[in-house]
Amino acid sequence: EEGWYPSGKRNPADAFEPSSALVKATLIAGAVEINGQYAYYNGYFYPNWDQGWGRVNLNNSLYFEGDNKRMWVVDNRLGISTGETATYFVNIIDNTQPLKFVLCWTDYPGSPSASIQLVNDLDLKVTDPNGNVYLGNVFAGYNPGFSVAGGSADRRNTEEAVILTPENNIFPTGIYKIEVIGYNVPMGEPETDAQPFALVVVGGISPEQPVIAPTFTWTQTTWDGGIKELEVGRFTRSYAWFYSAENIIWENSGKITLSPGSVSGWIESNIFDSHRTADWKNVRLIANKPPGSEIVIKLRTGMDNNPYDGGWTDWIVHQNGMENENLPSGRYLQYRLELFGSAPEIREISVTYIPTLLAPTFLYPSLGENIGENEFVISWTEVWSSSPPVLYRLWIDNDSDFSSVDVDSGWIENTTWALTSPLPDGIWYARIQARDNVGFLSENSEIWFRVDTVNPPPPVLLNPLEGENTNNVTPIFSWQSVVENSLPVLYLVSISDNYEFPYENISSEWISNNQWTSPSLGDGVWYWRVKARDNAGNEGDWSEIRSFRVDTVPPNAPNLISPLDNEVVSTSAPILVWQGVQENSLPVMYLVAVSDDPLFQHENRSSGWILSTSWVLTPPLPNGRYYWKVKARDNAGNEGVWSGQRSFTIDTTPPSSPSLLLPFNNSSTRSSTVTFSWSEVLDDSPPISYMISISKNPNFSPEVWNSGWISAISWSATLSDGTWFWRVKAKDFAGNESFWSQIFVLNVDTTPPPVPSPIFPPQNYIISSSSPVFEWAGVSDFSPPVSYLLQISDVDTFAHENRTSGWIQQTSWQVSPPLSDGVWFWRVKAKDGLGNESGWSPTMRIIVDTIPPEKPTIFSSTHAEGVPSSNRNVLFHWSTVGGPSSVVYFYRLDNYDNEWKQTTETNVSYQDLPDGVFTFLLKAKDAGGESETGKYSIIVDTVPPDIEIFGLENENRLKSSSRIFTLKGRVEPGSTIEIDNLRVLADENGIFNVDLQLSEGLNLFLLKIVDRAGNVTERQLVVEWPGPSWVQKYKIVIFIGCVSIAALAVFWKIYRLPRMKRRKRKRRSSR
């Protein structure tokens, strides 16, 4: 009802009733993240299941005038449907404080059996000036939690928030775009099929928000038409009565339907005139569509704001969310409703648009402003239009409905208006509207303001009280707020050291609070007063004048009188007496402190502040030595220093028994010389003496050692191995002996444990694991537990340590990291619970071999691999392989040996092998495993080669028809044939040929064939050549004769004939 939003000050005209969704959003926007013990019990994130959105703090949500943090809200009662988006813009000017955006809605009831209870799902989307997009409920971190860009929309909650923090987001200032998106609204409100919602933004919001053209909604419910009456200052509007229809009945009250028997029909509106250029944004129906029915909305606008001259656009099928596609803005709108099917009904249609001629905004007075004069000038912002000039009209009325206008400026070009007659005190309402040259009207801007010329009353002073003493040099002054219409009220505080106020020592200046802390004041008497000034500028009279004293000088320390220092008193409630102090700020009070600690780290008794200079110590104290002191406090609150302290002793009882310290009870030691210690006993009658008793019997009979009475709190004795018992008692200076202390038990053990015996691996053991488990025999000792230390080294002197188990209580240990292959040495020793260490066990040598040998490389000095040899005796030898353990070689000659044989040598021989192909197989084996098998193939061939001569007429005889004879034949492939110093190699098929020079008659040749194994075959061959024929004998002579005749002919032609011709010519010339 008071209307504190959005101005931050009371303005009833701004009052409205918030929805439950807006209340929830406001509470969440101000919630503070909790950092207590169980705030993150189920997970380190915020918000969470332990604290929700945190602790409610309305001071973080609500805005009041003067606050740095502002609040911006939307309580959208119309709501949005599936696919629709509501868009808002907020200007942020301060990014040094957190910025919160909170969306809430009241959901339709969900099904208890559903996996997700949410029914209507809205999404919050915030875009900052840099283009970063934040979705609701996408958070990271805790203390504080904050929003991060990206992520997925929330599909479970009816509360969504975006939280930006300066330390995590470093968000910019500027215009933020806020979108509320109808993701899925299956169960909207019955009348609108939409989900209402509330939106709250809290943070560094600018008081000047971006100028976003407001939307206006016109609703058609009267289907029989009619003209709407004009309102004062409102732009022209009319009902869009229907222009024409087919198969439609609209006479039924509140609805239109199809004519009886019709399955389709349509109805067209007359022109809807916004009286300005407008951007048509949304059309929404409230209708009943039974199954099998359909309703189609079509829209069109005037082409140039004059449909009678410029024509209309084509009809465009309306779809929510796509209204503006292909639909230009225009002054006029016409819509067409098409009905199909089984009895559809339309009950209401609403049209929403954005005017393009903005409304002027009041500059002075502002909304809710208080004015301290009756005559003043009103001003407003200039409105731009493409059709100037723009005229303005101002109305002023003392009724909010402008039913009786008191001031009407008429249409004027100025953006100011001076009142022509005074306005009486009271609340007034103003309305301003713009109109351009073509007659387009803006929406109204409305404000209210107060005229107040009455001064506020003097404030009633509260603190400091009259004559009050204070030691605060910056006292807080407070007074009652005055009752005033023109809020807020400001106050002025004046302080002087002169009651007449001929001058001011200090002034507060005008402040809005009803209390004020002054700057530092000096000691002395001061006077103060206050006056008020209302928001209209009216100043009231000064309040009454009050005086107060500033006194910062503390009183002196009191002098102690009784009891005397170190006095022993016989009563447990002595009277403590001191001398009073002199002081200006009376009365003076005193505080007595009594403690058994000379440093007074705690107090055993305190008197509290008392007026008397003596005090009976109550309640009584037990025996002991006590210290006491006194200090004073004046009426200004200044506390003096403590007096010097004194002590007294109350002593009627013996001292307490000492507390035994070392050695601890049931402890053990390996030292035969033991020092015993105990706590010092405090007593009222020092000094204290002590006696220690030591025995091997818990009854202390007999007593082996007794210290006698000593002043020290420790004592040493030499003890043999075994169990001992000891105790101590105290005696004060008065001879009071305490009871014996409790008895402590001590075990003395100086003997080391026995040497452990190694078990596994034993001496010279070969092991194939690189991580063997070492085992030894455990030992027993008087002082358990026994620990063992295992050492492993690659040298038997253990000059360095490669592996060690550390001290362990097990009697086995698996080495880690694994050992490399080689020879290792290990030993072990024991240590009892007191640290007595045994000697080392015997050193064990082991061999670790985990790697199989490499495949041996096989050689033979008698047979090349794969090459035939006539040698029946073969010698194989091979490379040495293996690791640290002994190697055994396994071999077998394939096609000869029936089983594997073994040897530790690196060679083996075979004698008198038969002809054939043999493969020698060899593998090595040691503790690390078995190698791959090596192979070496040999061929034994002792059979001489055979020869076949092609063309033999009889054995070893051939005939040739020419002197050059080509001998051809076949031998064993790869064999060499030697014939009279000629050497020929047979091809892979054993074929050979060779040209032989023959003599006339019989020619004898010796053939020697050597195969690849070196086997030789020799054979004689006779080739007969009968000699050349007659033609063959004389064909050379004939050839020479022919050549000679040809030469003579050439000679004659070239040489002799020209010479003869020259001679003949010479003879002619001589004639």
Residues 163, 141: Cα–Cα separation, whole Å: 12
Confidence of residue 327 (pLDDT cuts 50, 70, 90): low
Answer whether residue 122 is part of any domain: yes
Torsion on CA atoms 973, 978, 982, 987, rounded to nearest 10: 0
Look-up of token digits 């393009």: 356
Cis-peptide into 687, omega within 30 deg: yes
Write out pLDDT tens, residues 923-949: 999 988 899 999 999 999 999 998 888
Residue 961, helix vs strand vs coil: coil
Handedness of CA 809, 810, 814, 819 (dihedral sign): positive
User: Six-digit token pair at 773?
Assistant: 């488990």
Write out pLDDT tens, residues 785-801: 999 999 999 999 999 99
Residues with Cβ within 8 Å of residue 819, at least 6 apart in sequence? 770, 771, 772, 792, 802, 803, 848
Residues 369, 429: Cα–Cα separation, whole Å: 11
Number of structural domains (the chain) is 10
pLDDT value, residue 723: 94
Q: What share of the chain is helix, strand, coil (3-state, %, to 5)?
A: 5, 40, 55
pLDDT value, residue 868: 92
Answer whether residue 1 is part of any domain: no
Residue 243, helix vs strand vs coil: strand
List, in sequence order, every residue forming a beta bridge with 877; answer none if it has no partner: 859, 907
Residues 284, 320: Cα–Cα separation, whole Å: 8
**3 burial level (CB within 10 Å; 0-12, 13-18, 19+):** middle
Report whether 793 contacts 802 (CB < 8 A): yes
- CATH code, domain with 233: 2.60.120
Write out pLDDT tens, residues 802-845: 999 999 999 999 999 999 999 999 999 999 988 999 999 999 99
Last residue of a domain, one of 814, 848, 882: 848
pLDDT value, residue 239: 38
Look-up of token digits 């004020």: 516
Verify that 418 and 533 share a domain, yes or no.
no
Report whether 754 contacts 739 (CB < 8 A): no
pLDDT value, residue 584: 82
- CATH code, domain with 445: 2.60.40.10
- CATH code, domain with 161: 2.60.120.380
Can you tell me the mean pLDDT for 504-532?
94
Confidence of residue 213 (pLDDT cuts 50, 70, 90): very low
Write out pLDDT tens, residues 241-290: 556 788 888 666 567 788 888 899 988 876 666 655 566 656 667 677 88
For 892: left if phi > 0, alpha if psi spans -120 to 50, otherwise beta; the answer is beta
Can you tell me the mean pLDDT for 480-492?
92
Verify that 835 and 868 share a domain, yes or no.
no
Answer whether residue 408 is part of any domain: yes
SS3 of 767-835: ECCCCCEEEEECCCCCCCCCEEEEEEECCCCCCCCCEECCCECCCEEECCCCCCCEEEEEEEEEECCCC
Write out pLDDT tens, residues 65-99: 989 899 999 888 878 888 888 878 888 999 999 99
Give the closest residue to 445 by CA, choosing from 496, 383, 500. Answer: 383
pLDDT value, residue 816: 92
Residue 122 has pLDDT above 60, yes or no: yes
User: Six-digit token pair at 340?
Assistant: 């199909």
Verify that 191 and 248 share a domain, yes or no.
no
List, in sequence order, every residue forming a beta bridge with 977; answer none if it has no partner: 984, 1009
Percent of the chain with pLDDT over 70: 87
Percent of the chain with pLDDT over 90: 57
CB burial of 403-437 (b: ≥16 within 10 Å; e: otherwise) equals: eebebebeeeeebebeeeeebebebbbbbbbbbbe
Question: 805: which DSSP letter?
Answer: -
Can you tell me the mean pLDDT for 140-149?
90
Residue 389 has pLDDT above 70, yes or no: yes
Verify that 348 and 367 share a domain, yes or no.
no
Verify that 71 and 114 share a domain, yes or no.
yes
Residue 335, helix vs strand vs coil: strand
Verify that 192 and 225 share a domain, yes or no.
no
Averaged pLDDT score across all residues of the chain: 86
Residues 75, 638: Cα–Cα separation, whole Å: 57
pLDDT value, residue 228: 35
Verify that 407 and 437 share a domain, yes or no.
yes
Residues 431, 449: Cα–Cα separation, whole Å: 11
Residues with Cβ within 8 Å of residue 1065, at least 6 apart in sequence? none
Please, what is the end-to-end C-alpha distance for the chain in angstroms? 171
Give the closest residue to 129 by CA, choosing from 173, 96, 72. Answer: 173
Confidence of residue 910 (pLDDT cuts 50, 70, 90): very high
Residue 229 has pLDDT above 60, yes or no: no
Verify that 914 and 980 share a domain, yes or no.
no
Answer whether residue 211 is part of any domain: no
Answer whether residue 559 is part of any domain: no
Residues 531, 548: Cα–Cα separation, whole Å: 19
Beta strands 195-205 and 70-80 are antiparallel
Question: 156: which DSSP letter?
Answer: S
Residue 405 belongs to domain spanning: 362-451
Residues 397, 925: Cα–Cα separation, whole Å: 117
Angle at 89 between CA 87 and CA 92, to 5 degrees: 150
Residue 214 has pLDDT above 70, yes or no: no
Residue 7 has pLDDT above 80, yes or no: yes
Answer whether residue 556 is part of any domain: no
Answer whether residue 1060 is part of any domain: yes
Question: 292: which DSSP letter?
Answer: T
Residues with Cβ within 8 Å of residue 546, at least 6 apart in sequence? 461, 464, 465, 466, 527, 528, 529
Beta strands 982-985 and 85-94 are unpaired
Residues 826, 762: Cα–Cα separation, whole Å: 10
Residues 1058, 484: Cα–Cα separation, whole Å: 163
User: Six-digit token pair at 858?
Assistant: 């096989």
List, in sequence order, every residue forming a beta bridge with 737; answer none if it has no partner: 731
Can you tell me the mean pLDDT for 972-983?
89
pLDDT value, residue 270: 66
Last residue of a domain, one of 848, 872, 897: 848
Residue 294: Cβ within 10 Å count: 12
List, in sequence order, every residue forming a beta bridge with 524; answer none if it has no partner: 550
Verify that 509 and 646 share a domain, yes or no.
no
Can you tell me the mean pLDDT for 413-440?
88
Verify that 48 and 190 share a domain, yes or no.
yes
Report whether 202 contacts 61 (CB < 8 A): yes
Look-up of token digits 């001191």: 578
Residue 528: Cβ within 10 Å count: 25
In which element (H, E) is residue 469 found?
A: strand 468-470
Residue 482, helix vs strand vs coil: coil
pLDDT value, residue 115: 85
User: Six-digit token pair at 116?
Assistant: 């997700």
Verify that 23 and 99 share a domain, yes or no.
yes
Report whether 449 contacts 397 (CB < 8 A): no
Last residue of a domain, one of 323, 355, 387: 355
In which element (H, E) is residue 765 found?
A: strand 765-767
Answer whether residue 811 is part of any domain: yes
Confidence of residue 14 (pLDDT cuts 50, 70, 90): confident
Q: What one-character-per-residue DSSP string does 543-600 give?
A: ---EEEEE--PPPPPPEEEESPTTEEES-SSPEEEEE----SSSPPEEEEEEESSTT-
Can you tell me the mean pLDDT for 1022-1032?
75
In which element (H, E) is residue 286 found?
A: strand 272-288
Give the closest residue to 284 by CA, choosing from 215, 186, 191. Answer: 191
Out of 209-213, 246-250, 588-592, 999-1003, least confident range? 209-213
Torsion on CA atoms 252, 253, 254, 259, rounded to nearest 10: 0
Confidence of residue 532 (pLDDT cuts 50, 70, 90): very high
Confidence of residue 221 (pLDDT cuts 50, 70, 90): low
Beta strands 272-288 and 345-355 are antiparallel
Verify that 680 and 699 share a domain, yes or no.
yes
